Amino acid sequence: MGIAFEQPALGVIGPISRKVGSGTWLSENAAQFTERIDADIDINAPHTHSFIETIDVRLVLEPGVAALAARHVTEVHIKLLNQALDAILMPRSWIDFKSRIYQFSRAC
């Protein structure tokens, strides 16, 4: 596949727009599109629950998971988390920042 094929597809799903006589541009929702791709979200998946229901479940599950992780943390885990946090604080670019945030969440 070449760029000529990919441009119309990218225009349909969001990150670029074509303006006749002006060229191909990032669309206004390019950042949101990138966020969904970064987070590995299937934008075509059917949603049978609301955003509020998702938050409600997170509020029930995440404190217990965090408490369990804190009870079993080791010095190695703390070192890895600190290294990942330090990396977030010194990104070279926006993409580097986004990548480092995901690395932090997967550090242990």
**Per-residue confidence of the chain (108 residues) as pLDDT tens digits?**
444 444 454 444 566 776 777 777 766 666 666 666 666 666 677 778 888 998 999 899 999 998 998 999 999 999 999 999 999 998 888 888 888 888 888 876
* Residue-level pLDDT at 47: 76
* Residue-level pLDDT at 36: 62
Residue closest to 108 by CA, chosen among 61, 64, 65:
65
Q: What residues contact residue 97 under an 8 Å CB cut-off, 6+ apart?
A: 88, 91
* Residue-level pLDDT at 24: 72
Residue closest to 16 by CA, chosen among 1, 31, 35, 2:
31
DSSP per residue, 75-93: HHHHHHHHHHHHHHTS-SS
Q: Inter-axis angle of helices 75-88 and 94-105, to 10 degrees?
A: 160
Q: How far apart are CA 5 and CA 12, in angstroms?
A: 12
Model confidence pTM above 0.75: no
